[in-house]
Structures are given as C-alpha cells and as structure tokens.
C-alpha cells in the first residue's frame, strides 16, 4: 500500500476547501436572487393575509420592443398577518398577472401557470 505524501494531502485538502467555498458562494447568490425586491403588496379585505410580489434580478437582460417597457420575472408569495408564508410561486412574466382576487376559500390570480385557488386556513373576506 502506497502512502500519500504530505504535500499531496495538503493539495487535496486545499481542493476540498476551494470546492466548499465555491458551493457556499453559489448557495449565497441563489438565496440573494430568490429573495428578490419587493414590488407590491396587496392585503386581503379583512387584513389577515397579504400577497407580495418580488422582482428577481435578471442575469440576461430581456430585449423589449420600443414602448413595451421591460418585462420582469419574480415570485408571488402569500403571507398571513404574522409573517408566516403560506404559498410561493415563480412567474416568468410577473407584470402580466392579474390579481390577486380574494374569495371565501382563499386567493387566486390569472395569467400564470397555476390557475388554482390558494386555499387559506381562514377566509380572507368576512
């Protein structure tokens, strides 16, 4: 059995440290990107729930037609009054989504992939 030299062990340890640092940087960048920037928030009629829209950073800028403005992507998140998150959905074209619309069962919006109602523990309208 051949024993590795001390120098080879040090090189191997440095590679693992570099890999761990790279993965930490990637994870940190992903968390920063996913957090997004708050664009709007809409409270339910009884002020128990809120839908917040977050715009995410675009690494590759979108090309828009003149007068079209820039479309943006991001997350729609549903929270209760205490800040507990109930739902999160990503949308490529967040500016095309209509809503939120509050119903007895929960909240919904139109123009995204998921057209279902987001059920909430209590009614957002009284």
Strands (E), 1-126: 37-43, 49-55, 74-80, 85-91, 98-102, 106-110, 118-119
Q: What is the count of structural domains for the chain? A: 2
In-domain check, residue 14: yes
Do 9 and 53 have their domain in common?
Answer: no
Residue 63: predicted pLDDT: 66
Query: What digits encode the pLDDT tens for the residues 68-114?
Result: 666 778 889 999 999 999 998 888 877 788 889 999 989 998 877 77
Q: Which residues of 41-62 are buried (b: 16+ CB within 10 A; e: fewer)?
A: eeebeeebbbbbbbbbeeeeee
- Higher pLDDT residue, 9 or 18? 18
Whole-model pTM over 0.75: no
Q: Which domain holds residue 41?
A: 36-60+69-119
Residue 18: predicted pLDDT: 94
Query: What digits encode the pLDDT tens for the residues 45-63?
Result: 999 999 999 988 776 666 6
Residue 78's DSSP bridge partners are 51, 87
Do 55 and 5 have their domain in common?
Answer: no
In-domain check, residue 26: yes
Contact 49, 107 (CB under 8 A): yes
């Amino acid at each position: 059995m051949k024993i590795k030299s001390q120098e080879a062990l040090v090189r191997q340890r440095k590679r693992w440290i570099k890999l761990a640092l790279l993965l930490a940087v990637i994870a940190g960048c992903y968390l920063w990107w996913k957090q997004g920037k708050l664009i709007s928030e809409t409270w339910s009629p009884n002020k128990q729930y809120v839908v917040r829209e977050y715009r995410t950073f675009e690494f590759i800028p979108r090309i828009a037609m003149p007068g079209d403005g820039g479309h943006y992507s991001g997350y729609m998140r549903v929270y209760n009054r205490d800040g507990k998150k109930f739902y999160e959905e990503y949308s490529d074209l967040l500016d095309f989504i209509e809503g939120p619309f509050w119903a007895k069962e929960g909240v919904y919006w139109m123009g995204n992939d998921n057209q279902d109602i987001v059920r909430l523990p209590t009614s957002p309208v009284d």
